[in-house]
Structure 1
Amino acid sequence: MLFPMPDLTTDDRRVLDQIDQMRETLRHAVRTSAAKWTDGLRKFLTADAVAASNSIEGFKVSTVDVEDLMEGETEVDVSEENREETLAYQRMMTYIQTLHDVEDFSYSKGLLNSLHWMLQGHRHSIRRPAGQWRKGPVYVTDPRDPSIAAYTAPDAPLVAGLMQELVDWLNESDGTHALVRAAMAHLHLVSIHPWADGNGRMSRSLQTLMIAREGVLAPEFSSIESWLGRPGNTWEYYRELNDRGSHYQPDQDVSGWIRFNLTAYHQQAQTVQGRLTRSGHVWTSLVGYADSQGLDERTVTALHDVAMAGRVRRSRYQHAEDLSLQQAQRDLRDLTAGGVLQPVGRTRARYYTAGPQFPQDAIDIARTPMPLTHPYRT
């Protein structure tokens, strides 16, 4: 038995309508914006989702470090464990993103287990098998006291049947809004807890996949994982899950879970729109600066990364502008000589930050915080 779909309130429908409007506006903005900085935004949002979802599970890697790892950088100052977890999650997310427009797509137990292998295959063991249902009990422990089970998942012999029921539900169309169904899928999967490990990230990834399959926005703009990874929101996330009870109790009203997710969708849409707007203003400011200083316009890509992320690496700039190694090195050397950038570190680990001549206007725009409204308190 799965959780029943709750009825939406008038407030829920109002918030959902606002989310739809914001996502449609965002879709149009992405399509009409300059490709160079929207491509950078896509990479940032993917990295931010990976960093946030992993941080919920205790793997702490900054978004900018995740971006570097995704670019193939090897000299990134993170632990080997965090590197493996980041790259595994990034590979799985990349595959999920490719599924957004597959015509003959369907959900299956095989698909979910394959995604789990991508995420947990590097940790596969007899005790904690990857890519297959657990064979024993699993608990979510209380973060304040690991000797206390905050949640006990259904018994292992029940998992296969529950997962078949979930797959059947995923492949059905009941007319419910896609965002609501995606939120319910997250709750179904995390409550069944079918694997020995990785259930939280798999549940959040399934939600991302379902939103991406909806087709309104590109997959990179569809995830709420970065919202869930903010410290205060993470606490609320766990509280919402804890409100479902200490054992699997699907015969209950989960309206609170839907409201929580609608809030996440709403505020994430605000955040992405704000970053898109801010990124565009930074780009425009830097184009003007490059023109006034006689810099090649391609260098704006490097300067934009520094303004928005705090740093840029040679390989990232080289790939973004499709330059030769010599061209990229020469550009960064010239920017350094002019005091626009300053290098940090040596040889392959080197990256560049803002130098004394970096245009302050661009940094001010990038660092201006944006307000967020709470949809149920407006």
Structure 2
Amino acid sequence: MLYPTPPRTPADDRVLAEIDVMRQALRHQIQTTPSKWTAGLRKFLTADAVAASNSIEGFKVSTIDVEDLIDGERDVEVSEENRDETLAYERMMAYIQTLHDAQDFSYSKGLFNALHWMLQGHRHTARRPAGQWRRGPVYVTDARDPSIAAYTAPDVDTVPALMKELVDWLDTDDDAHPLVRAAMAHLHLVSIHPWADGNGRMSRSLQTLMIAREGVLAPEFSSIEAWLGRPGNTWEYYRELAGRGPTYVPDQDVASWIRFNLTAYHQQAQTVQGRLDRSGRVWGALSEFAAATGLDERVVTALHDVAMAGRVRRSRYEEAEGLSLQQAQRDLRDLTTAQVLVPVGRTRARYYTAGPRFPQPALDLAGTPMTLRDPYSG
């Protein structure tokens, strides 16, 4: 038995309507924004989701380091374990992103276990198999005392039937809002806990896949994993899951879970919109700076990365602008000579940060924080 989808309240309907309006507006803005601006945002949002979802499980890699790892950079100062977990999750998410418009798509045991292998295959052992249902009990331990089980997953013998029920539910249309269905799918999967490890990330990625399959926004703009990874929100996330009880009791009201997820959708949409707007203003300020100082317009791409992310690597600038190695090196060398950029590190590990003559207005715009609104408070 799965959790029944709770009826929505008038407040839920109001929040959902606001989310729908924001996502449609964001879709239109993305479609009409120059691809140079949105390409970097897409990469950032993917890296931010990977970094956040992994951080919930204790793997700490900054968003900018995740971006570098995705780009294939080898000289990134992270542990081997964090590198492996980051690249595994990114590969799985990259595949999920390709499924957003697959015409013959369907959910299945095979899909779930293939995704799990992408995520956990590097950790596969006979005792904790990847890509297969678990072979024994599994517990979520209390963060304060690992000798206490905060949650005990359903008996191993019930997992195949529960997962079949979930697959059937996923492949059956109903009249629930797609965002509500995605939230319920997350709860179903994380509660069944069908694998020995990786259940949280699999559940969050399933939610991302379902939102992306809805078709309103590209997958990079659909995930709430970055929102869930913020420290205060992570605590609320665990508290909300704990509120379901220490064992699997699906015959209960989960309205608070829906409200929690609708808040996440709403505030993540606010965040993405804010970053897109800020990115555009920063680009405009840097374009003015380049024109006023006689710089080639193409260097704005490198300067924009520095303003928004804190640094840029030669390889990223080279790829973004379609330059040769020599052209990219020359541009960055000239910017360094002009004290617009400052190099950090040597050879392959080198990156560039803002120098003393980097335009301060662009940095001020990039560093201006935004205020998030609680959709249920007004």
What's the TM-score, normalizing by structure 2?
Answer: 1.00
- Secondary structure in 2 matching 1:269: helix
- Which residue does the alignment assign to 1:192? 192
- Secondary structure in 1 matching 2:297: coil
**Identical amino acids, percent of aligned pairs:** 78
- Secondary structure in 1 matching 2:6: coil
Distance 2:202 2:338 in 1: 47
Counterpart residue type for residue 153 of structure 1: A
Following TM superposition, by how much is the alpha carbon of 1:37 offset from its aligned partner in structure 2, in angstroms?
1.2
Following TM superposition, by how much is the alpha carbon of 1:75 offset from its aligned partner in structure 2, in angstroms?
0.3
Counterpart residue type for residue 349 of structure 1: A
Distance 1:44 1:339 in 2: 26
Following TM superposition, by how much is the alpha carbon of 1:66 offset from its aligned partner in structure 2, in angstroms?
0.2
- Which residue does the alignment assign to 1:334? 334
- Secondary structure in 1 matching 2:362: helix
- Which residue does the alignment assign to 2:137? 137
Counterpart residue type for residue 146 of structure 1: P
- Which residue does the alignment assign to 1:108? 108
Counterpart residue type for residue 109 of structure 2: K
Work out the number of aligned pairs and report it.
378
- Secondary structure in 1 matching 2:323: coil
Distance 1:109 1:32 in 2: 39
- Which residue does the alignment assign to 2:256? 256
Distance 2:355 2:270 in 1: 31
Distance 1:173 1:288 in 2: 51
In the TM superposition, what whole-angstrom CA distance separates every residue of 1:141-194 from its partner, at most 9, and x where no partner exists?
A: 000111100000001010000000000000000011100000000000000000
- Secondary structure in 1 matching 2:201: helix
In structure 1, runs of 5+ residues without a counterpart are none
Distance 1:210 1:109 in 2: 16
Q: How does 1:1-378 map to 2 (within 5 A)?
A: 1-378=1-378
In structure 2, runs of 5+ residues without a counterpart are none
In the TM superposition, what whole-angstrom CA distance separates every residue of 1:225-261 from its partner, at most 9, and x where no partner exists?
A: 0000000000000000000000000000000000000
Distance 1:78 1:169 in 2: 40
Q: Which runs of 4+ in 1 moved over 6 A?
A: none
Counterpart residue type for residue 52 of structure 1: A
Distance 1:54 1:342 in 2: 31
Distance 2:177 2:294 in 1: 52
What's the TM-score, normalizing by structure 1?
Answer: 1.00
Counterpart residue type for residue 175 of structure 2: G
In the TM superposition, what whole-angstrom CA distance separates every residue of 1:237-293 from its partner, at most 9, and x where no partner exists?
A: 000000000000000000000000000000000000000000000001101110111
Distance 2:12 2:147 in 1: 38
Distance 2:69 2:218 in 1: 22
Q: What value does the CA root-mean-square deviation take over the aligned residues?
A: 0.4
- Secondary structure in 2 matching 1:127: coil
Distance 1:66 1:37 in 2: 19
Distance 2:371 2:25 in 1: 18
Distance 1:127 1:290 in 2: 58
Distance 1:117 1:267 in 2: 32
- Secondary structure in 2 matching 1:135: coil
Following TM superposition, by how much is the alpha carbon of 1:34 offset from its aligned partner in structure 2, in angstroms?
1.3
Counterpart residue type for residue 377 of structure 1: S
In the TM superposition, what whole-angstrom CA distance separates every residue of 1:21-73 from its partner, at most 9, and x where no partner exists?
A: 00001001101111101010000000000000000000000000000000000
Distance 1:31 1:282 in 2: 19
- Secondary structure in 1 matching 2:150: strand
- Secondary structure in 2 matching 1:298: helix
Counterpart residue type for residue 141 of structure 1: T
Distance 1:282 1:128 in 2: 48
Counterpart residue type for residue 257 of structure 1: W
